[in-house]
């Protein structure tokens, strides 16, 4: 996609648009004069985002929704089509975080995290891809891109991050399959996957948006969960690459038609090690081997001494 296609009059749909990567993407797209569909579960944050972006002069469509709900994402697609037509960029970006040993996650944990992180992406792909393919069939000049937010946790399997790892690995393979499937039917609609490492966003505090029916009343967090949340919060808050940086990386990757998008390319060594384990039939290597102090802290916290 050339730079001129990422501009005035085109439409971007962004889930998780009220904070983090989503808000930074919205700022960039609005600044380029694009129509921006702002979708988020937080009504108050959504209103603040709309208020901030309005002076840029872009056409905005704020939509409060829960991406884990199929009907709500379907309604988002209908609202987008009625207001702007088929979108040119779809960012399936909404996500939540969770920590803890994999057997400690409750049924509600699994339903919440997979509902947002995986099914939110699946619903977005399911409802927007047909609109984009229809637009491509009508207009030889149309070009569309679907960008799914996964994580480096979708390429490696860090300890004490079980349900999150599972959700993000699923998003990576969903995106790779989408790329392959689209290549069979169109040259005009493309897929990408974003795999950020630790970047300052609001994901470390995503419990604030957890539905009441998917909480465990009275349940006390385990030692592993407490430690995991603290470590994640520290790592995310101290990240040197900002959400704004990542948003720019994403639009550059779309322009250059790159599928895999990374915030921290230097972290790919752990991905290579994992893939070598798979190919060479080795037992899984320690993904924390270059950070032995973190593993020791985790072992100490879990074993109580």
pLDDT in tens, 154-194: 999 999 999 999 999 999 999 999 999 999 999 999 999 99
Residue 249: alpha-carbon gap to chain centroid: 14
Give long-range contacts, CB 8 A cutoff, 24+ apart: 240-244: 241/196, 241/197, 241/199, 242/199, 242/200, 243/20, 243/21, 243/23, 243/24, 243/199, 243/200, 243/201, 244/24, 244/27
As a whole number of Å, the CA-based R_g of the chain is 19
Active site residue 164: yes
Query: 124 near 185, Cβ under 8 Å?
Result: no
- pTM for this prediction: 0.91
pLDDT tens for 62-88 read 999 999 999 999 999 999 999 999 999
pLDDT tens for 219-257 read 778 878 887 777 766 656 666 778 898 999 999 999 999
Identify the residue whose tokens are 């993000």: 168
- What DSSP state is assigned to residue 102? G
Catalytic pick among 164, 179, 260, 262: 164
Confidence at residue 233, expressed as pLDDT on a 0 to 100 scale: 67
pLDDT band at 302 (very low <50, low <70, confident <90, very high): confident
pLDDT band at 214 (very low <50, low <70, confident <90, very high): confident
Three-point CA angle 208, 214, 210, nearest 5°: 15
Domains of the chain, CATH where assigned: 3-303 (3.40.50.720)
pLDDT band at 200 (very low <50, low <70, confident <90, very high): low
Confidence at residue 206, expressed as pLDDT on a 0 to 100 scale: 60
């Amino acid at each position: 996609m050339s730079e001129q296609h990422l501009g005035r009059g085109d439409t971007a749909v962004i889930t998780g648009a009220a904070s983090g990567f989503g808000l930074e993407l919205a700022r960039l797209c609005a600044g380029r004069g694009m129509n921006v569909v702002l979708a988020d579960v937080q009504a108050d944050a959504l209103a603040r985002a709309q208020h901030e972006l309005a002076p840029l002069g872009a056409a905005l469509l704020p939509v409060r929704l829960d991406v884990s709900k199929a009907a709500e994402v379907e309604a988002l697609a209908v609202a987008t089509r009625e207001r702007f037509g088929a979108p040119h960029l779809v960012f399936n970006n909404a996500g939540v975080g969770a920590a803890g040993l994999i057997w400690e996650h409750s049924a509600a944990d699994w339903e919440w995290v997979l509902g947002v992180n995986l099914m939110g992406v699946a619903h977005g792909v399911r409802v927007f891809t047909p609109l984009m393919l229809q637009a491509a069939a009508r207009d030889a000049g149309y070009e569309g891109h679907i960008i799914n937010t996964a994580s480096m946790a979708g390429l490696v399997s860090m300890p004490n991050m079980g349900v999150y790892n599972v959700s993000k690995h699923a998003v990576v393979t969903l995106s790779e399959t989408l790329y392959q499937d689209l290549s069979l039917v169109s040259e005009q609609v493309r897929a990408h996957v974003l795999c950020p490492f630790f970047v300052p966003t609001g994901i470390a505090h995503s419990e604030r948006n957890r539905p009441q029916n998917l909480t465990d009343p009275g349940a006390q967090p385990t030692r592993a969960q407490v430690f995991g949340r603290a470590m994640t919060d520290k790592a995310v808050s101290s990240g040197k690459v900002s959400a704004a940086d990542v948003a720019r990386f994403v639009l550059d990757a779309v322009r250059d038609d790159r599928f895999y998008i990374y915030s921290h390319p230097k972290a790919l060594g752990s991905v290579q090690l994992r893939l070598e384990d798979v190919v060479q039939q080795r037992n899984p290597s320690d993904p924390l081997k270059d950070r032995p102090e973190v593993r020791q802290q985790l072992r100490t916290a879990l074993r109580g001494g």
